[in-house]
Amino acid sequence: MSRPAIDPVGEQAVDWMVRLSAGQHSANLRAEFDDWLRRDPANAQAWQRLQERIGGSFNVVRSLERHKPGQAEEARRLLLTPSTTRRDVLRGLAAIGLLGGGLWLAARSGPGLALFADLRTGTAERRSLTLADGSRLGLNADSAVDLDFNASQRLIILRRGELIIQVAADPQRPLRVRTEQGEARALGTRFMVAQEQDATRLVVLEHAVRARLNDGREQDVLQGQGALLRTSSIEPLGREALRRAAWLEGRLNVLNEPLGEVIDALRPYTHGILRVAPEVQDLRVQGVFPLDDPQRTLQALGETLPIKVEHYTPWVTVIGPR
């Protein structure tokens, strides 16, 4: 069987991805990349498709270049074949012997697990779907989950991002959402879970949820309430936590929150890098902003706060004091 041809522009995008993710790159390299993007609209389109396809996780491909350079061509074919799913990519890499040793560890890292998760969303992509048990799952942008449903349990493992779950009744198999810090077990029907950098954010939209840390400590969180699950504590949140679920309708509702947290909420909807200077990250923000138009939101923030929003390239935006 003949192999599918590699799109030359797509291959260039993969090469740029590997070079830029090497950990050390000069201003000259970044300038060369910007020039490549501007040279032809097809280049920018290929780069965007690649980012959406692999969700910005470079670990596996970087490992290919370091440990198995002779197999990079086949890896590119797996990444660039339009009909190939992420699961097929994982199987294909295993089939050509690229998931041994360090590569397997890379695939099992946080970014690698998210890359090959059962369900995932890319930048600026939300998904709503019905699971096999009838539960309704909503995924925020740049999110990833694994599903472990069988005759004895219903388990969702949140690898990255945020979800909202409308739980179908099944007394024999309570639905659980597992994160790095613990679990949220449904005692009712609808709740939100977000995996943050060092905590899990839980917001109960209907009925109640039992929050459980990895050390066994538990606390019931009631409708309209929220909680932060940290390594050794469960911190209550007030009713303002309910605003966090507005992303399901494409809105960002903010009431007296730090600018840094607002920008964090925009990152899953932005292609490229958003950086906030320390001098302005604690400025207080309030308003309702569109998630699906982050540039419009940044413009509104620049008009209402003492900040300036500077776009250095199409891929780098820096927010600093005016």
Q: Tell whether 3 is covered by a domain.
A: no
Domain match, 62 and 103 both: yes
Give residue 18's domain range: 8-116
**1 assigned to some structural domain:** no
- Residue 122 within a domain: no
Q: Is residue 284 part of a domain?
A: yes
Of 243, 276, 291, which residue sits at a domain end? Answer: 243
Same domain, 147 and 77: no
pLDDT score recorded for residue 225: 93
pLDDT of residue 231: 92
Which distant-in-sequence residues (6+ apart) come within 8 Å of 255 by Cβ? 240, 243, 286
Q: Do both 16 and 112 map to the same domain?
A: yes
The CATH number given to whatever domain includes residue 286 is 3.55.50.30
Indicate which CATH number applies to the domain containing 171: 2.60.120.1440
Question: Which residues touch 289 (CB under 8 Å, ≥6 apart)?
Answer: 251, 252, 254, 262, 296, 297, 300, 301
- Do 15 and 99 lie in one domain? The reply is yes
Q: Are residues 24 and 132 in the same domain?
A: no
Domain-located, residue 121: no
User: CB under 8 Å to 196, separation ≥6 — which residues?
Assistant: none
Q: Are 320 and 308 in contact (CB under 8 A)?
A: yes
- The count of structural domains within the chain is 3
Q: Is there a domain that residue 2 lies in?
A: no
Q: Which of 221, 243, 265 is the last residue of a domain?
A: 243
Query: Quick one: pLDDT at residue 227?
Result: 96
* pLDDT per residue as tens, the chain (322 positions): 344 444 678 777 767 766 665 545 566 777 788 788 878 878 877 777 666 555 444 444 444 444 444 545 555 555 555 444 445 554 554 554 444 444 444 444 455 556 567 898 988 999 999 999 999 999 999 999 999 999 999 999 999 999 999 999 999 999 999 999 999 999 988 999 999 989 999 999 999 999 999 999 999 999 999 999 999 999 999 777 788 899 999 999 998 899 999 999 999 999 878 889 999 999 999 999 999 999 999 999 999 999 999 988 777 888 999 9
- Same domain? For 94 and 71 the reply is yes
Q: Report yes or no on 18 lying in a domain.
A: yes
Boundary-marking domain end, from 196, 212, 243: 243
Side chain identity at residue 180, one-letter code: E
Dig out the tokens for 169 from the structure.
């009744």
Mark whether 140 and 50 lie in a shared domain: no
Does some domain include residue 96?
yes
Q: Are residues 188 and 85 in the same domain?
A: no
Q: Note whether 238 and 292 are same-domain residues.
A: no
DSSP collapsed to 3 states, the chain? CCCCCCCHHHHHHHHHHHHHCCCCCCHHHHHHHHHHHHHCHHHHHHHHHHHHHHCCCCHHHHHHHHHCHHHHHHHHHHHHCCCCCHHHHHHHHHHCCCCCHHHHHHHCCHHHHHHCCCEECCCCCCEEEECCCCCEEEECCCCEEEEEECCCCEEEEEEEEEEEEECCCCCCCCEEEECCCEEEEECCCEEEEEECCCCEEEEEEECEEEEEECCCCEEEEECCCEEEECCCCEEEECHHHHHHHHHHHCEEEEEEEEHHHHHHHHHHHCCCEEEECCCCCCCEEEEEEECCCHHHHHHHHHHHCCEEEEEEECCEEEEEEC
Instruction: Provide the pLDDT for residue 18.
Output: 61
Same domain, 138 and 63: no
